[in-house]
Amino acid sequence: MDNQIFLKRIQLNEKIIYFLKENLNILNTDYLVRKDIGKSTYNIDKYFKLVEETADGVMLPRGFVATLVDFCRVENIPFNVIDKRRKLDEVHFDSNIDLLPHQKLAVESVMRKDFGVIVSPPGSGKTIIGLEIKTLHPFPINLEQLSWMNTTIYRPSRFVKLLSDSAFWKATGYF
């Protein structure tokens, strides 16, 4: 497991292909709304396709691994998860965040998992939820999170006690 799940073509049987199509082709409601009100749907995909095909196989979002593992267990399909995520030192932050009730529920739910995807409407506080998760569950920061870290944590923030410059960059694994 890296930042995506990779399945070799030889591993894809009919059950898995159907399961992936059903779970990772998500209807784009913007497309439907535009179509229903008579607006142009030009350049708007009908489905969000979260499966990326390569010559050797398919890549899936890493947040889908638990769902895929559960499916394989139920269907008695043998599998092996190889975790290739880069291991870094843990970084601890102190939080001053006062969460709203729906955010507390999301954080509590996420804390029971190792990874996942937070899906919520705009303005509902996904960034704040993610920041609180970072403070409660210290874990390595990887380069893919660097942009998020720069805009959410490193900037002068009212949410967390910041690390010194050198500690921040060391924690990211960037240097």
Do 57 and 107 reside in the same domain of the chain?
Answer: no
| 114 within some domain | yes
Confidence band for 88, pLDDT divided at 50, 70 and 90: low
d(CA 61, CA 54): 14
Whole-model pTM: value is 0.51
Q: How many domains does the chain have?
A: 2
| 92 within some domain | no
Cβ proximity of 60 and 50 under 8 Å: yes
Domain encompassing residue 69:
4-74
Do 106 and 143 reside in the same domain of the chain?
Answer: yes
| 88 within some domain | no
| 84 within some domain | no
| Residues 114-147 pLDDT 10s | 666 788 888 888 888 888 887 876 655 544 454 5
Alpha helices for the chain (secondary structure H):
14-24, 29-36, 65-74, 101-110, 126-136, 146-149, 165-172
| 106 within some domain | yes
- DSSP three-state, residue 174: coil
| 93 within some domain | no
Instruction: Tell me the one-letter amino acid at 121.
Output: P
Max mean pLDDT range (13-27, 82-96, 114-128): 13-27
